């Protein structure tokens, strides 16, 4: 049976709240105050951006120094098609910049008219963002700036009014989700109010929902088998806490349901019966709502309860 | 007495731009069956299973547990997973076999880059404080490295184009490759890298079987013995590193014994043309070494599997008698941040 492959947009968004160590806190707070800090290693190098442990010796390093907001490009790459969330919306150069007074380079964007205007060794300076919060993006970008290199550095205690102690890093990735062959067939059948599992050619078990492989035998399942619609509650729990964005009154019952003909129980909500009367062995059937692509919940069929012996292997 | 461990079988999918019609386990399973068939082993015969993959690629949470369905992991098997290229899963399996806890290991890796914006997805592995908020994509970071190489006179754009052309020409003989033959070098993606300097984006999977000692000889006519394997990492901050060199690769190669005798073949995991320049230098490969006869990652780059594929391709050449001593390299992170080197050997033919 061939089915059109299903696809749907999938957005994964995750704001990570991250705490900062003492050096990162000083550096990012410094950017808010238009001050660029570096850290001295025990072998006398100045790292910008600063880290808390020396990359070579792993020593804990805490001696902060203030470096200049001007520097030299050590390498670059012209980005003619900026991508979402990158520092500039117009074409720009990615650059590594060694700030005056630093021994290492910082990655950022350089605002320049075109690739012909950029070269390794060119002089640049920080362009500060208008609104600064204590983040690497407080540097809006670099811009060309002719000046002599000034490698004077001054010790800095890293202390500012109201130190930034954490950042919230937003991330969003846009995917196109495709569930694959077996699940496409399952979901497509559900739209016709049929529940279709797949049988393992080796152990003959019927999996619902099918995932394309028998986890016991490690072989592809292919033979499609319609199961249910009736089934048996094998075990259940009573949900007492309302889930966010879920319009279901608590308490309610969430159950494992072994559909007739299936060798694996699936999950579903039980409705149409008071929560405290649901029991193992209860016979249920799916309830489809208008336009629903899957059963909204399962309700009792009114049949006598299934004997424990008939479903104990499915627990 | 250290145990001798060999790669005894290798299999891979055809690597393709998309594989919408297959879930990850559906893509992986035929490769698992193929690699097991080559040795006559069943899942239940395998002592240890280890895999490499990343849920971020396809945006599918816990996809590695679903992939295990394809192994047949019930009753429970001895199993592990790394959120890294499968080459590092192979490293873990190698150490497991060294301990004597197992005599055989199944190593697999898969990656589906097609469902997501892979250039952006890879930014999520960067320093979350100073770098990731700028979203520098994987091509941009490789381009910074390429420009540094050009500035220092290690290469130029025509030389990079020649690496691309040679790789895709060699891939003509590789039926699994995604880009084969004459491929236009294209426009700049991020200057100085053009489309042709970048790896194809695609989906694929690979699997390897390792075996120890006599077991390896039973399972394979000419095992590819792992004479040494090592991996090293550099500082995460790009501005701290010397981008035109790869000291971590050189150190891993030294620890793996790569410099003790010349190799005849090298499978290098260089997704960008410029990275082959860095690796050849770090590994001191002479012009007589056959580099990436498979076409390398420029011909097929299933992320999370492409490093394991390098080890598999090198081993397969030894299995076929086309190589006696091969180097396989895998990389991870931006601009060759972390590198693994394995040295594989076939036994002299008169000994067999």
Tell me, yes or no, whether B287 lies in a domain: yes
Packing angle of the helix pair B273-283, B247-256 (nearest 10 deg): 50
The CATH number given to whatever domain includes residue B183 is 3.40.47.10
Contacts of B128 in chain A (CB under 8 A): 16, 18, 169
Name the residue in chain B with its Cα closest to that of A9: B115
Place of tokens 């770098």: B131
Give me the mean pLDDT over the A139-144 stretch: 98
CA distance A314 to chain B (A): 15
Q: What is the 3-state secondary structure (H, E, C) of A90-107?
A: CCEEEEEEEECCCCCCEE
Q: Do B132 and A216 make contact, defined as CB atoms within 8 angstroms? A: no
Contacts of A98 in chain B (CB under 8 A): 239
Query: What Rg do the C-alpha atoms of chain B give, in angstroms?
Result: 19
Tell me the average pLDDT of chain A: 94
B18's torsion region: left (phi>0), alpha (psi -120 to 50) or beta? beta
Q: B122 and B80: one domain?
A: no
Asked if the model's pLDDT at residue A2 lies above 70, the reply is no
CA distance B193 to chain A (A): 9
DSSP at A213: B
Q: B64 and B137: one domain?
A: no
Q: B108 and B141: one domain?
A: no
Name the residue in chain B with its Cα closest to that of A20: B129
| Cα–Cα dist B142/B135, whole Å | 14
Secondary-structure percent of chain B, ordered helix, strand, coil, rounded to 5: 40, 20, 40
Asked if the model's pLDDT at residue B75 lies above 90, the reply is no
Confidence bin at A5 (pLDDT 50/70/90): confident
Q: B207 and B61: one domain?
A: yes
Give me the mean pLDDT over the A142-152 stretch: 89
Q: For the segment B249-274, what is each residue's pLDDT rounded down to a tens digit? A: 999 999 999 999 999 999 999 999 99
Q: Do A94 and B136 make contact, defined as CB atoms within 8 angstroms? A: yes
This prediction has a pTM of 0.95
**Out of A24, A169, A218, closest to residue B132 by CB:** A169
Tell me, yes or no, whether B67 lies in a domain: yes
Confidence bin at A223 (pLDDT 50/70/90): very high
Q: Do A79 and B190 make contact, defined as CB atoms within 8 angstroms? A: yes
| Cα–Cα dist A92/A142, whole Å | 10
Tell me, yes or no, whether B351 lies in a domain: no
Under 8 Å between Cβ of B169 and B294: no
Tell me, yes or no, whether B244 lies in a domain: yes
- Nearest in space to B282 (alpha carbons), one of B294, B296, B271, B266: B266
Tell me the average pLDDT of chain B: 96
Name the domain count of chain B. Answer: 2
Q: Do B29 and A218 make contact, defined as CB atoms within 8 angstroms? A: yes
Interface test with A, best of B32, B56, B136, B152 (most A CBs within 10 A): B136
Tokens of B272: 């960008």
**What pLDDT sits at residue B352?**
44
Residue B276 belongs to what domain range?
Answer: 118-198+227-345
Confidence bin at A210 (pLDDT 50/70/90): very high
Q: How many CB atoms are located within 10 Å of the residue A296 CB?
A: 15
Contacts of B240 in chain A (CB under 8 A): 47, 55, 104
The last residue of one of the domains, among B190, B219, B248, is: B219
HSE, side-chain direction, 13 A CA sphere, residue A188: 16
Name the residue in chain A with its Cα closest to that of B136: A86
Residues contacting residue A228 through CB under 8 Å, at least 6 positions apart: A195, A259, A260, A261, A262, A285, A286
Q: Do A216 and B74 make contact, defined as CB atoms within 8 angstroms? A: yes
Give me the mean pLDDT over the B239-248 stretch: 96
Give me the mean pLDDT over the A196-211 stretch: 95
Place of tokens 């990079």: B160
* Omega before B192 within 30 of 0, i.e. cis: yes
Tokens of B93: 């399996």
Lowest mean pLDDT among A25-29, A44-48, A58-62, A243-247: A243-247
Q: B245 and B156: one domain?
A: yes
Q: Do A175 and B116 make contact, defined as CB atoms within 8 angstroms? A: yes
- In angstroms, the Cα distances linking B1 to A314, B4, B100, B116 are 49, 9, 11, 47
Higher pLDDT, A152 or B283: B283
CA distance B86 to chain A (A): 20
**Maximum CA extent, chain A:** 91
Q: How many CB atoms are located within 10 Å of the residue B102 CB?
A: 19
| Cα–Cα dist A307/B266, whole Å | 65
Give me the mean pLDDT over the B139-148 stretch: 98
Q: Do A173 and B29 make contact, defined as CB atoms within 8 angstroms? A: no
Higher pLDDT, A216 or A91: A91
Q: B215 and B73: one domain?
A: yes
CA distance A234 to chain B (A): 21
Q: B136 and B186: one domain?
A: yes
DSSP at B194: E
Confidence bin at A72 (pLDDT 50/70/90): very high
Contacts of A78 in chain B (CB under 8 A): 143, 188, 190-191
- Nearest in space to B269 (alpha carbons), one of B129, B109, B158, B104: B109
Q: Tell me the three state secondary structure of residue A23.
A: helix
**Cα angle value B186/B187/B189 (rounded, 5°):** 115
HSE, side-chain direction, 13 A CA sphere, residue A72: 13
Tell me, yes or no, whether B350 lies in a domain: no
**What pLDDT sits at residue B232?**
98
**Out of A16, A55, A175, closest to residue B115 by CB:** A175
Give me the mean pLDDT over the A21-29 stretch: 97
Asked if the model's pLDDT at residue B349 lies above 50, the reply is yes
CA distance B103 to chain A (A): 21
Q: For the segment B89-111, what is each residue's pLDDT rounded down to a tens digit? A: 999 999 999 999 999 999 999 99
Contacts of A107 in chain B (CB under 8 A): 130-131, 134, 136, 144, 238-239
Contacts of A99 in chain B (CB under 8 A): none
- Nearest in space to B48 (alpha carbons), one of B11, B77, B8, B19: B77
**Out of A78, A169, A213, closest to residue B191 by CB:** A78
Q: B90 and B128: one domain?
A: no
- In angstroms, the Cα distances linking A214 to A8, A124, A200, A219, B32 are 26, 60, 6, 6, 14
DSSP at A42: T
Asked if the model's pLDDT at residue A16 lies above 80, the reply is yes
Q: B108 and B181: one domain?
A: no
Q: Where are the domains of chain A?
A: 9-169, 179-227, 229-315
**What pLDDT sits at residue A218?**
92
CA distance B18 to chain A (A): 11
| Cα–Cα dist B315/B298, whole Å | 19
Asked if the model's pLDDT at residue A1 lies above 70, the reply is no
Give me the mean pLDDT over the B280-298 stretch: 97
Q: B276 and B175: one domain?
A: yes
Under 8 Å between Cβ of B202 and B303: no
CA distance B114 to chain A (A): 8
Q: B163 and B249: one domain?
A: yes
């Amino acid at each position: 049976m061939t089915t059109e492959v299903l696809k749907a947009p999938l957005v994964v968004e995750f704001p990570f709240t991250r705490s900062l160590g003492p050096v990162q806190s000083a550096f990012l707070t410094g950017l808010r105050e238009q001050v660029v800090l570096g850290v001295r290693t025990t072998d006398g190098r100045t790292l910008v951006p600063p880290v808390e442990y020396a990359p070579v010796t792993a020593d804990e390093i805490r001696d902060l120094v203030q470096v200049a907001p001007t520097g030299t490009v050590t390498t670059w790459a012209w980005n003619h098609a900026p991508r979402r969330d990158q520092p500039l919306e117009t074409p720009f150069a990615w650059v590594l910049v060694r700030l005056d007074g630093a021994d290492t380079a910082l990655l950022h964007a350089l605002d320049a008219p075109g690739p012909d205007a950029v070269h390794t060794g060119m002089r640049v300076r920080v362009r500060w963002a208008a609104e600064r919060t204590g983040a690497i993006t407080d540097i809006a970008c670099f811009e060309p700036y002719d000046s002599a290199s000034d490698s004077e550095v001054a010790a800095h205690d890293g202390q500012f009014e109201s130190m930034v102690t954490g950042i919230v890093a937003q991330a969003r990735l846009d995917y196109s989700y495709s569930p694959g062959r077996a699940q496409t067939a399952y979901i497509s059948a559900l739209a016709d109010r049929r529940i279709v599992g797949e049988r393992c050619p080796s152990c003959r078990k019927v999996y619902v929902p099918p995932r394309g492989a028998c986890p016991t035998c490690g072989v592809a399942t292919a033979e499609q088998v319609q199961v249910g619609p009736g089934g048996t509650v094998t075990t259940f729990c009573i949900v007492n806490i309302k889930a966010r964005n879920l319009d279901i009154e608590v308490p309610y019952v969430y159950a494992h349901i072994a559909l007739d003909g299936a060798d694996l129980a699936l999950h579903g909500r039980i409705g149409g019966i008071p929560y405290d009367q649901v029991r193992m062995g209860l016979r249920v059937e799916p309830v489809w709502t208008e336009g629903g692509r899957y059963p909204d919940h399962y309700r009792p069929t009114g049949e006598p309860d299934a004997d424990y012996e008939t479903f104990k292997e499915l627990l | 007495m250290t145990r001798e461990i060999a790669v005894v079988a290798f299999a891979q999918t055809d690597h393709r731009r998309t594989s919408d019609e297959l879930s990850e386990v559906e893509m992986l399973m035929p490769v698992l069956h193929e690699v097991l068939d080559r040795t006559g082993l069943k899942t239940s015969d395998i002592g240890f299973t280890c895999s490499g993959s990343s849920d971020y690629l396809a945006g599918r949470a816990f996809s590695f547990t679903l992939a295990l369905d394809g192994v047949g992991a019930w009753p429970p098997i001895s199993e592990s997973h790394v959120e890294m290229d499968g080459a590092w899963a192979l490293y873990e399996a190698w150490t497991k076999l060294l301990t004597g806890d197992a005599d055989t290991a199944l190593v697999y890796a898969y990656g589906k880059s097609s469902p997501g914006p892979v250039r952006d997805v890879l930014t999520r592995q960067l320093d979350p404080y100073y770098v990731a908020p700028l979203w520098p994509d994987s091509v941009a970071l490789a381009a910074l490295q390429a420009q540094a190489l050009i500035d220092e006179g290690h290469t130029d754009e025509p030389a990079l184009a020649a690496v691309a052309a040679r790789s895709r020409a060699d891939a003509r003989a590789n039926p699994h490759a995604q880009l084969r033959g004459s491929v236009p070098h294209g426009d700049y993606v991020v200057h100085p890298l053009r489309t042709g300097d970048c790896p194809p984006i695609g989906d694929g999977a690979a699997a390897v079987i390792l075996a120890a000692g006599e077991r390896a000889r039973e399972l394979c006519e000419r095992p590819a013995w792992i004479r040494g394997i090592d991996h090293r990492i550099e500082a995460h901050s790009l501005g701290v590193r010397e981008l035109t060199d790869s000291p971590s690769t050189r150190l891993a190669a030294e620890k793996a014994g790569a410099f003790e005798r010349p190799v005849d073949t090298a499978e290098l995991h260089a997704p960008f043309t410029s990275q082959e320049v860095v690796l050849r230098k770090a590994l001191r490969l002479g012009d007589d070494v056959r580099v990436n006869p498979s076409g390398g990652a420029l011909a097929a780059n299933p992320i999370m599997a492409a490093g394991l594929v390098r080890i598999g391709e090198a081993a397969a050449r030894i299995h076929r008698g086309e190589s006696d001593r091969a180097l396989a390299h895998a990389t991870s992170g931006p601009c060759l941040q972390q590198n693994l080197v394995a040295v594989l050997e076939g036994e002299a033919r008169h000994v067999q």
